[in-house]
Amino acid sequence: MRKKYFIKWTAPAREDLNEIIDYISKTNLLYAVKVLDKIEADVKNLHKSPKSYRLVPELEKYGYLAYREMIVDYWRILYKIEDELVYIMLVIDGRRNLEDILLKKILFREEAI
């Protein structure tokens, strides 16, 4: 019997998606709706086989093996699997440099401490 996984969006990942959709909708509302529908539909299908997607190369080279990613058109959806839960951690434009984004997020959080 195949293991069943449940999808859980983290608040920051949901914010990422909302920002992407807000940005796109300023110039093309119809496309923004299509992007939202596609991302949400593909993420829902992660419950079938989340381990079949690749490890995040930018993190893997530093030994972080907990994060995988799904590519949906231009967007990268980063997630981690814990038991039967799949946590959606980050949604970014795949044309951006992931290492720079992660570094900025970490530095920003360090400053807040």
Residues 94-98, mean pLDDT to the nearest whole number = 86
At residue 14, the pLDDT reads 95
Q: 76 and 42 in contact (C-beta within 8 Å)?
A: no
User: Could you tell me the CATH superfamily of domain 6-111?
Assistant: RelE-like (3.30.2310.20)
**Per-residue pLDDT for 17 more than 80?**
yes
HSE-CB for 90 with a 13 A CA cutoff = 16
Q: 66 and 79 in contact (C-beta within 8 Å)?
A: no
Q: What is the reported pTM?
A: 0.86
Q: Output the six-digit token pair for 65.
A: 């093996």
More confident residue, 105 or 30: 30
**Per-residue pLDDT for 108 more than 70?**
no
| Average pLDDT value for the chain | 89
CA gap 109, 113 in Å, rounded: 7
At residue 50, the pLDDT reads 95
